[in-house]
């Protein structure tokens, strides 16, 4: 059958080409599987038994590896051996009897409605820069975009008439997401008045919707600095990351009674279980309200 590292490379190629996983995910899978190769040596994968994998995972605890990281590694191992079974290279799947570590769901921190309102009101919309920044912040919260999706939105993907934006999500999947009226007002002003002034002769054919004052497409790091700056100006601490706006979008929708499947579609989650984490955040808010307000709580 060959060296295990050859099959690890084949599996990673499968994930890259057939499943179009994001590079960060591929890098995590590569680290986890290379740790297996280092643990068992250059062996034929068919010789790997459940005991080998158990000792690998047991060693994580002594190395200070978190339960969450071990659970992710087990997921990578399961996917790898299922791939080998599907390719008819092995008969037994040694991960079948493995039990993963108990992982307490990590609930995302979200901004309150008041914090969001203060953050969105901070940019000075009387200036071109403030109008640009306000448009980005409003769109991200109104549509729950990922940072990369926000920075790569194209002018052609913005439909101001119907109030929709087309974004390119993980795995190259496109989706349509609605935009709220307030965000549309900011975007309409930016597109009509501000964006043309940010373009010059060399960039007049730029297709990206958001152009930085340096006349280049916005980067993730650039937007991260914008969020932190305005959060500090609004007195929001600890300073949130841009992804907190996405978390807040989903949680606030569910608190308002939105359908879970609809939120899943807007967020671009392939698995409904990923979206369900926000129901726990919304429920936690309800419990806090009950504890604060009920006479016998």
- Residues carrying an active site annotation: 146, 170, 243, 246, 269, 278
SS3 assignment for the chain: CCCHHHHHHHHHHHHHHCCCCCHHHHHHHHHHHHHHHHHHCCCCHHHCCHHHHHHHHHHHHHCCCCHHHHHHHHHHHHHHHHHHHHCCCCCCCCCCCCCCCCCCCCCCCCCCHHHHHHHHHCCCCCCHHHHHHHHHHHHHHHHCCCHHHHHHCEHHHEECCCCEEEEECHHHCEEEEECCHHHHHHHHHHHHHHHHHHCCCCCCCCCECCECCCCCECCHHHHHHHHHHHHHHCCCCCCCCCHHHHHHHHHHHHHCCCCHHHHHHHHCCCCHHHHHHHHHHHHHHHHHHHHHHCCCC
Count the neighbouring beta carbons within 10 Å of the beta carbon of residue 36: 20
CB atoms within 10 A of CB 287: 10
């Amino acid at each position: 059958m060959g060296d295990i590292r050859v099959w690890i490379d084949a599996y990673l190629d499968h994930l890259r080409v057939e499943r179009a996983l994001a590079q960060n995910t591929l890098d995590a899978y590569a680290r986890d599987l290379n740790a297996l190769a280092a643990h068992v040596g250059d062996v034929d994968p068919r010789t790997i038994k459940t005991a080998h994998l158990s000792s690998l995972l047991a060693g994580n605890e002594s190395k200070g590896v978190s339960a969450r990281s071990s659970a992710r590694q087990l997921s990578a191992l399961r996917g790898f051996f299922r791939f080998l079974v599907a390719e008819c290279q092995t008969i037994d799947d040694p991960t079948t009897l493995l039990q993963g570590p108990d992982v307490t769901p990590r609930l995302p921190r979200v901004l309150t409605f008041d914090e969001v309102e203060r953050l969105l009101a901070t940019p000075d919309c009387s200036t071109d820069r403030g109008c640009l920044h306000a448009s980005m912040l409003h769109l991200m919260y109104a549509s729950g975009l990922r940072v990369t999706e926000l920075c790569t939105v194209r002018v052609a993907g913005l439909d101001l008439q119907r109030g929709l934006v087309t974004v390119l999500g993980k795995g190259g999947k496109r989706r349509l997401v609605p935009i709220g009226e307030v965000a549309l007002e900011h975007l309409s002003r930016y597109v009509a008045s501000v964006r043309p002034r940010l373009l010059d002769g060399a960039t007049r054919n730029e297709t990206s919707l958001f152009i930085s004052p340096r006349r280049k497409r916005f980067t993730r790091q650039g937007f991260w600095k914008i969020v932190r700056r305005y959060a500090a100006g609004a007195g929001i601490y600890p300073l949130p990351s841009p992804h907190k706006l996405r978390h807040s979008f989903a949680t606030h929708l569910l608190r308002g009674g939105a359908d879970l499947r609809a939120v899943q579609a807007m967020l671009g989650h392939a698995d409904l279980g990923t979206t369900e984490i926000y129901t726990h955040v919304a429920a936690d808010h309800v419990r806090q309200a009950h504890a604060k307000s009920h006479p016998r709580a």
